[in-house]
Amino acid sequence: MTQSPRPPASAAILRPRHRGLIWSFVLIVILPAAIAAAYLYVIAKDQFASTLGFTVRKEETSVSADLFTGLGRTLGASSSSESDILYAFIQSQDIVAKIDADLNLRSLYSRHYDSDPLMGFNPDGTIEDLTNYWQRMLRISYDTGTGMMEVAAIAFTAEDAKAIATAIYDQSTVMINALSDQARQDATRYAAEDLTRAEDRLRNIREALTDFRTRNQIVDPEADVAGQMGLLTTLQAQLAEALIDFDLLSGTVRDGDPRLDQITRRIDVIRARY
């Protein structure tokens, strides 16, 4: 049984929904891409980055300080803690204010504000605005495993980027040195306090020893104790010998024997000397 051929398909007609899809694609994809390309190639100014990397070394301490006060851990403060502080400092308003005073960051960042207000900095902004802009123009990473910190300073000229990176390094060095100096001063103060307490204890012990010698008429307490211990040892040996003699003699003589009385008196005298 044969089938009759199907009629040919009708020509495609551009419907309103098709036009909506086309305009949506143009507005959502093509137009933003065209605006971004026009901004990047026509309006946006070139930016340069200067990168520096460094680590915070742990300060070495002397063995004598560790043995005397146990403050080696204070003097050699954890480098990771100092790196954490430095990581926050580089992004803080404090360093922004200091570098702005040295390099005039407002002027460097507002070079192209009139022609590129999107990426440029408004020179009339507050220090808070400058700090927010600083954080946009800064790339910082910190590897806690190796202690390596990498900072990239971005500016509109290579010279400005290098100057900002150098200023970051200088301010970071000043801050880390200040932390180390403070830790060293604290450790020195703690050691001095421990030394004062040790001297006071030694002075009190010497005074007590002098008072003991005066009251007991003893020049060298250690020698006197050693002599007394020697005397006790001798008396114990003599007492043991006398007891043995008494036991041996009491088994061979009658009660009332003068020799038993003599040994008994000897035992009593030795015991009285304890």
pLDDT at 269: 79
pLDDT tens-digit readout, 8-46: 655 556 666 767 777 777 778 877 777 777 666 666 677
Across 8-12, 145-149, 246-250, least confident range: 8-12
What is the chain's length? 274
Q: For 199, phi and psi rounded to 5 degrees?
A: -65, -40
pLDDT band at 266 (very low <50, low <70, confident <90, very high): confident
DSSP H helical ranges for 91-126: 93-103, 105-109
The letter for the amino acid at 129 is D
The letter for the amino acid at 271 is R
pTM of the complete model:
0.58
Beta bridge partners of 166: none
pLDDT tens-digit readout, 166-183: 999 999 999 988 888 888
3-class state of residue 251 by DSSP: coil
Beta bridge partners of 48: 155
Q: What is the number of other CB atoms lying within 10 angstroms of the CB of residue 19?
A: 10
pLDDT band at 219 (very low <50, low <70, confident <90, very high): low
